[in-house]
Amino acid sequence: MPGKLMLVSTPIGNLGDITLRAREALASADAVAAEDTRRTLQLLNHLGLKKPLVSFHAHSAAEGIGAIIRRIRAGETVAYVSDAGTPCISDPGAELVAAARREGVEVVSLPGPSAVLCALTLSGMDASRFLFEGFLPRGKAKRGERVRRLMDQPVTCVLYESPHRLKDTLRLIADADPERRVCCCRELTKLHEETLLCTAEELAGIYEEKDPRGEYVLVIEKAKPAAVQADAETRDALLTELLNSGTDKPSAARRAAAELGLSRRALYQRLLELEDE
């Protein structure tokens, strides 16, 4: 009789956040598939459990999926865990679940900790609708364009960021709209947890004075109606028209800001980019 695949949410920092059901699932599983077997071993040791570990990460997803499906076909129940939090969010778990569905394998999801939801609730921002971006692109140009798109969204946006890129990302957000509120959550549920809620410009200034450390989740306030209406195409069309008319860039940025309700500084930066394109 075939087994099943269990998606088990694990703590994002504080091991005390493990649920009773998650512990029972790990205890009953025949094997545990994990992104980082070393981190998972620490969790299992904390829970007093000994289980065979199966390595499953993005670099060996195809091979790992085959091995896990074969175990389940042989009657085993396999628990899949990510590095931390809820599986299949910014990890290769979705590919595993899709393969299991194709093979007719039973899939069970056990809800639990999530850095996205933890940060969202701490922000106090509108959570009736929100967009989760995950990690921004690595390339500076692509990252800048993605940030500009996020700033136009009519919903609260949540994204992950690494410490070595945090300063650049905060500056991109501040350049797009210095008055937009941003909640910066660091080391959630851990000993050095910190949450800062202020304007994008204030937050960028704070981190210009100190070195980021740890793992970060950023929550960006939704765009105001005027900014939502001024989508990227409308913005670029107006800026191009002003440039072609011979208007100097500072004046063009001021006029566009007044008409579109967007940040003059962000519009000036976009003018420079359009000039180079």
CATH of the domain at 61: 3.40.1010.10
| Digit-coded pLDDT (tens) for 172-220 | 999 999 999 999 999 999 999 999 999 999 999 999 999 999 999 999 9
Q: Residue 123: CB partners within 8 Å, gap ≥ 6?
A: 156, 183, 185, 197, 219
Distances in whole angstroms, Cα of residue 183 to Cα of each of 74, 122, 188, 200, 257: 47, 8, 12, 9, 25
138, 103: one domain: no
Give the range among 101-105, 197-201, 224-228 with minimum mean pLDDT: 224-228
89, 53: one domain: yes
Residue 135 pLDDT = 95
106, 128: one domain: no
96, 83: one domain: yes
Give the range among 31-45, 68-82, 183-197, 262-276 with minimum mean pLDDT: 262-276
Residue 215 pLDDT = 95
Tokens of 152: 């136009």
Closest listed residue to residue 115, CA positions, set 161, 77, 71 = 161
| CATH number of domain containing 201 | 3.30.950.10
13, 109: one domain: yes
CB 37 within 8 A of CB 140: no
**Which domain range does residue 269 map to?**
227-276
156, 91: one domain: no
89, 184: one domain: no
Residue 61 pLDDT = 76
Q: What is the pTM of this model?
A: 0.80
Residue 192 pLDDT = 94
Residue 230 pLDDT = 55
Q: Which of 113, 132, 154 is the last residue of a domain?
A: 113
**What is the DSSP track for 51-67?**
--EEE--GGGHHHHHHH
80 pLDDT exceeds 70?
A: yes
185, 244: one domain: no
What total of structural domains would you count in the chain? Answer: 3
**What is the DSSP track for 237-277?**
HHHHHHHHTT--HHHHHHHHHHHH---HHHHHHHHHHHHH-
100 pLDDT exceeds 70?
A: yes
Q: Which of 62, 91, 113 is the last residue of a domain?
A: 113
Residue 53 pLDDT = 96
Closest listed residue to residue 22, CA positions, set 80, 65, 107, 104 = 80
- Alpha-carbon torsion, ordered 266, 267, 270, 275, to 10 deg: -140
Give dist(CA 166, CA 172) in Å, integer: 10
| Digit-coded pLDDT (tens) for 12-51 | 999 999 999 999 999 999 999 998 999 999 999 999 999 9
Residue 193 pLDDT = 97
Residue 228 pLDDT = 54
33, 127: one domain: no
CA-based R_g, the chain, Å: 23
CB 90 within 8 A of CB 116: no
Q: Which of 113, 146, 165 is the last residue of a domain?
A: 113
Residue 112 pLDDT = 96
State the number of CA atoms in the 13 A half-sphere of 220 facing the CB. Answer: 33
The pLDDT-based confidence of 2 (bands split at 50, 70, 90) is confident
